[in-house]
Amino acid sequence: MVADGFEATRPEETGSWLGELATRLVHRGHRVTAVLVRSPEGDSPAADPPGTAVWRPSGGGPEPGLMQALEQRPDVVHLATPGPWSPEAVGALSCSPLVVDAHGYWPVCAAGDLVHRPSLAACRHHHPHEACGECAGLLHLRAMEDRAALGREARAVLAHTAEARDRLEAGLGRTVDLVRPGVDPFAFTPSPRAPHSPEVVEMLAPGRPPRVLVLGDPGSHRDTASFTDLLVALNARVPGVELVVPSCDPDDPAGPQLLLTEAREMGLLDQVHVFARVAATDEPALYAACDVACLPGRVPPSGGLRVMQALSAGLPVVAHDGGAIGELVTNGVEGLRVPFEPVGAFAHALAALLRDTAGRAEYAERGRLAAMERFDVDRAVFAHEEVYVRARRRRGGASRGGASRRPAA
């Protein structure tokens, strides 16, 4: 496994899911070696997955560890990061039993997210396109030749939403497997284990106010001002309501800081809780300290793991009705799908659920059932194993656009 890291701080959920996957694979008897591109973040980095040999970057960067790991002739190389890699590393990866895990759109987009800049609107194109250089910059554009080659020549490519699969198939001209992440229904429950973090323990204190868990990142790419507008609109309908942001992107510290600054100026600072990082073992308790979850933006192409976790924890989800959210939440069953704009209508849907205790309980029961039936972590691990087996057996070129598509995992 080659990844950015196992930290649980990124809104795209990649690191925390890969750590869980590595743990489950080891438990099932696989030998897992993880080559990490980034050093741990913060003073208390996440613990390594039990039983996994983890190689972190040294003074020479991650490539010496990668090349040494490839010399061990692994049965499968699960590549979940675009690097950057040297031509030598790209050549070695291309010759390996490679499975490209496209968390995001890095094999078909120089910016990695199919978002056009500076408008930050969804992009309908993919690399190569005349607008790519102006959007992402020449430095990122130069890296696309190697990225695209890895995506085209890998023995398998994984996507985690049907929307991401379709875009990747169009950009790479080949079949892409849809394999969703999964959630442990015995960890994310309405009554989880007691947390260790004092901040999370305090959240569970009796007499707490109504809370909304924000499944997303208050960064500039998600229009932070709208997060503030949401808080104001909610507070007008349910006085004292609190917003809880369980993680933020360390590469974009200005986003959460702006949210906190604006909340302070409006006298609402006590109603915002932003966590730079929550230990994976404490996440279920933090979810249990909330009443409703919301996703104001689009489901990340990494699969919407946080939405799955919220459903498993018994939180109704109010989500922006766009992108891949329809793959996770059926409107009126596990939650509500409402366009984020106008923000008043979105806030009204959240407020209605906060007031309706009996209705929330019904949504919670259906959400728990959906999480167990459709998003169980063991099912996700088995689906990954199936791809590994096919990749190990396959030799030479990858399957192309005319091949049959596997059913959704």
46, pLDDT greater than 80: no
Number of structural domains (the chain) is 2
> Do the beta carbons of residue 44 and residue 63 sit within 8 Å?
no
Same domain for 262 and 175: no
Position 246 scores a pLDDT of 83
Tens-place pLDDT, residues 317-368: 999 998 899 999 999 999 999 998 899 999 999 999 999 999 999 999 999 9
45, pLDDT greater than 70: no
Same domain for 381 and 363: no
407, pLDDT greater than 50: no
Answer whether residue 255 is part of any domain.
yes
What distance in Å separates the CA atoms of residue 366 and residue 360, rounded to the nearest whole number? Answer: 10
Answer whether residue 401 is part of any domain.
no
- Structural domain for 277, as ranges: 198-374
52, pLDDT greater than 70: yes
Average pLDDT of span 3-25? 82
> Do the beta carbons of residue 250 and residue 276 sit within 8 Å?
yes
Answer whether residue 190 is part of any domain.
no
Position 110 scores a pLDDT of 85
| Residue 70 or 223, more confident | 70
> Residue 364's closest CA among 191, 194, 222?
191
Position 406 scores a pLDDT of 42
Secondary-structure breakdown of the chain: helix, strand, coil percentages, each rounded to the nearest 5? 40, 15, 45
3 state DSSP class of 82: coil
3 state DSSP class of 53: strand
Average pLDDT of span 41-60? 79
Same domain for 338 and 243: yes
Same domain for 111 and 74: yes
Same domain for 203 and 154: no
Average pLDDT of the chain to the nearest whole number: 87
Same domain for 238 and 135: no
Position 253 scores a pLDDT of 59
Same domain for 75 and 17: yes
398, pLDDT greater than 60: no
Answer whether residue 400 is part of any domain.
no
Average pLDDT of span 380-388? 97
Bond prior to 256 in cis (omega within 30° of 0):
no
In the sheet where 53-55 sits, what is the strand order? Answer: 53-55, 33-36, 2-3, 77-79, 98-101, 156-159, 177-178
Average pLDDT of span 258-273? 89
Q: Of 185-194, 211-220, 394-403, which one has max mean pLDDT?
A: 185-194
What distance in Å separates the CA atoms of residue 261 and residue 257, rounded to the nearest whole number? Answer: 6
Tens-place pLDDT, residues 193-219: 999 999 999 999 999 999 999 987 554
pLDDT-based confidence at residue 220 (cuts at 50, 70, 90): very low
| Residue 250 or 143, more confident | 143
Q: What is the CATH number of the domain that holds 177?
A: 3.40.50.2000
Tally the residues of the chain: 409
402, pLDDT greater than 60: no
Answer whether residue 187 is part of any domain.
no
Average pLDDT of span 376-386? 96
Average pLDDT of span 374-391? 96
Average pLDDT of span 299-314? 92
Cα separations (Å) of 349 from 71, 92, 319, 332, 354? 55, 52, 10, 11, 9
Same domain for 95 and 218: no
Tens-place pLDDT, residues 100-146: 999 889 999 988 888 888 877 888 888 888 888 888 787 778 878 88
Same domain for 297 and 204: yes
Q: What is the pTM of this model?
A: 0.89
pLDDT-based confidence at residue 397 (cuts at 50, 70, 90): very low
Position 217 scores a pLDDT of 59
Same domain for 168 and 288: no
189, pLDDT greater than 60: yes
Same domain for 175 and 46: yes
Average pLDDT of span 164-188? 95
Same domain for 163 and 124: yes
pLDDT-based confidence at residue 18 (cuts at 50, 70, 90): very high
